[in-house]
Each structure stands twice: as structure tokens, then as C-alpha cells.
């Protein structure tokens, strides 16, 4: 029996640059990486649309400064704050409202695409959980940058550096380096297929304090985030990325690059 053929990650537009939408929450560092990549390789990448859950997110102005359509949002007004959901009932209600809000964003995106053409890829630089129609609509076409090494597993095969503050967690656990992982978003918490990892950044001299962790993350943004995101988007645009039916120890699909299966972590960039 022949081995199963890896399924190449989809893109909808035929020919021309890959059309990218970006969901943003902060200063726009990853958005700026994509804009710069599109400036250098306009035949390969086009940043078409930027949307946020908030109104004062700095990344929205980054988009506007480059002539990119930018949508502010009213997520907190409609859904409340996750920190205020302190029991099971309030957490369930917050999750229900968040799903409805993102379903609304999905409908708005659908209307926009009907007028302007399909988006091939959604890139998250985004601090909200996505479920429902939005995730279903872009399944296999939505990626997230995570400031932790998602190939680090515990003895039970679970990812160690998931959730909030993975850089501080890594320093506290004695990791010699931190690195950025770019993965396909699914229903799990940072559990999707890892496509690429950026170069490792030394933690030497750092303590597990908020201040040191933030300084480490700032170094990582430039040294690991940028090359990781650039490689992933270009590989996606070129049709180099695929998923196989095999699974890693953590249950995530094995990623193939150029038809060759990779270890957990996907394509690893060890040097810039």
C-alpha cells in the first residue's frame, strides 16, 4: 500500500500574489513585517485588509498609514472582559458572546470578499480566542505567531509553552533559548500544526521576572518573529506546506515541507 499523499494547504486565488488579511491587537510588529515583505515582493504577497477587536489598537494606524483598509472593533463593549469571567457560568457566557462577535466578523469578511475577492490567508497578531464561523471559514488558512517553542513537550506529550507568557515560563523552567512558533489555528489552545519556528534567542542572564521576560520577548520579536513569519507566508504562497495523516506525540498533524515530513516544530530556522 502506498503512503498517503500530503494535503497541500489551500489558497483560493489563482495566480498573482497571495492575498493576506491580518487580525491585530497591539503595536503592529507582525503587520509591519508583512507590509515590508509585500513591499519587497509585491508579486508574491499583498496585504489587503486589517481588522481588530478594539478601537485604539496602534496596528490599525500602521495599516492606514500604508493605505490598507482597517476595521476597528467593539469586542469588549459587546463581550465584556475575560478577566471579569470568574466562574463557570460567566466564562460560558463570555465565550458565547465572543463566538457571536467573531461570527459577525466572519459575515462582514464574506461581504468584503464578495466585492474585493477572496483572502487566501489570515494572519493573527491577535489577543482574542476565535471559534465558530470565522475559524471554520478559514480553516487551514489561518496562522498565528506564538512567542513560545511549541515543540517542547512534557512527559505526557503535552505542549509546555502554551497560553500566556510562554517566554517567562521558559526562563523559569531554565530553557537556554526561546523561539517563535508559527502554527495553524484550530479549536485547541495553541495546539495546531506547527509550520515553522524562528531562530532561537539566548536567555542567558535573564531571570523569570516580568521585566526580564518582556526584554527577552522584545529581542525575540526581531530575531525570531520576523524570519518565522516571512518564511511561513512565502512557503504558503509557493504551495510548499502540506499536512499528512500522521501525528506527532502531542496529537498534532505532521507537517510536510516540499513533500518531506518534518519533526514537531515544522521548518526550523536556526540562523538568519
pLDDT given for residue 272 in this prediction: 62
Same domain, 216 and 248: yes
H helices present in 86-152, as ranges: 88-116, 133-137
pLDDT given for residue 150 in this prediction: 97
Same domain, 165 and 192: yes
Structurally, the chain folds into a number of domains equal to 2
| Domain end call among 139, 167, 202 | 139
Residue 245 scores a pLDDT above 80: yes
Q: Is 146 helix (H, G, I), strand (E, B) or coil?
A: strand
Please report, for residues 25, 67, 134, 230, 248, the alpha-carbon distance to residue 262 in angstroms, rounded to integers and kept in the order given.
Answer: 31, 38, 28, 19, 10
**pLDDT of 15-44, one tens digit each?**
789 999 999 998 999 999 999 999 999 999
Averaged confidence pLDDT in the chain: 93
Residue 205 scores a pLDDT above 90: no
Quickly state the pLDDT bin for 2 (edges 50, 70, 90): very low
Q: Which domain holds residue 249?
A: 145-272
Same domain, 200 and 180: yes
Task: Measure the CA–CA gap between 124 and 142, rounded to whole angstroms.
Answer: 7
Sheet holding 267-268, edge to edge: 69-71, 45-52, 18-24, 121-125, 142-146, 181-184, 194-197, 267-268
**CATH code of the domain in which 13 resides:** 3.40.50.170
Q: Give this prediction's pTM.
A: 0.93
Same domain, 104 and 226: no
In DSSP terms, 153 is beta-bridged to 159
Same domain, 18 and 75: yes
Q: β-pairing, 69-71 with 45-52?
A: parallel
Same domain, 76 and 112: yes
**pLDDT of 56-78, one tens digit each?**
999 999 999 999 999 999 999 99
Same domain, 135 and 104: yes
Amino acid at each position: 500500500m502506498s503512503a498517503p499523499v500530503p494535503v497541500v494547504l489551500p489558497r483560493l486565488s489563482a495566480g498573482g500574489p497571495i492575498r493576506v488579511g491580518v487580525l491585530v491587537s497591539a503595536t503592529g510588529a507582525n503587520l509591519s513585517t508583512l507590509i515590508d515583505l509585500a513591499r519587497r515582493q509585491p508579486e508574491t504577497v499583498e496585504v489587503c485588509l486589517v481588522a481588530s477587536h478594539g478601537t485604539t489598537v496602534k496596528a490599525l494606524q500602521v495599516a492606514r498609514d500604508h493605505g490598507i483598509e482597517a476595521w476597528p472593533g467593539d469586542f469588549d463593549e459587546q463581550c465584556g472582559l475575560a478577566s471579569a469571567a470568574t466562574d463557570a457560568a460567566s466564562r460560558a457566557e463570555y465565550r458565547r458572546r465572543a463566538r457571536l462577535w467573531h461570527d459577525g466578523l466572519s459575515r462582514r469578511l464574506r461581504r468584503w470578499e464578495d466585492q474585493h475577492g477572496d483572502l487566501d490567508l489570515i494572519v493573527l497578531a491577535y489577543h482574542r480566542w476565535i471559534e465558530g464561523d470565522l475559524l471554520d471559514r478559514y480553516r487551514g488558512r489561518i496562522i498565528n505567531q506564538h512567542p513560545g517553542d511549541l515543540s517542547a513537550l512534557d512527559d505526557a506529550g503535552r505542549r509546555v509553552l502554551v497560553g500566556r507568557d510562554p517566554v517567562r515560563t521558559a526562563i523559569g523552567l531554565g530553557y537556554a533559548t526561546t523561539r517563535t512558533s508559527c502554527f495553524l489555528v484550530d479549536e485547541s489552545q495553541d495546539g495546531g500544526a506547527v509550520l515553522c519556528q524562528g531562530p532561537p534567542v539566548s536567555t542567558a542572564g535573564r531571570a523569570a521576572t516580568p521585566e526580564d521576560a518582556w526584554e527577552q520577548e522584545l529581542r525575540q520579536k526581531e530575531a525570531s518573529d520576523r524570519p518565522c513569519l516571512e518564511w511561513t507566508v512565502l512557503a504558503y504562497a509557493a504551495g510548499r506546506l502540506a499536512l499528512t495523516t500522521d501525528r506527532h506525540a502531542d496529537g498534532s498533524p505532521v507537517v510536510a515541507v516540499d513533500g518531506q515530513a518534518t519533526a514537531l516544530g515544522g521548518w526550523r530556522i536556526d540562523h538568519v
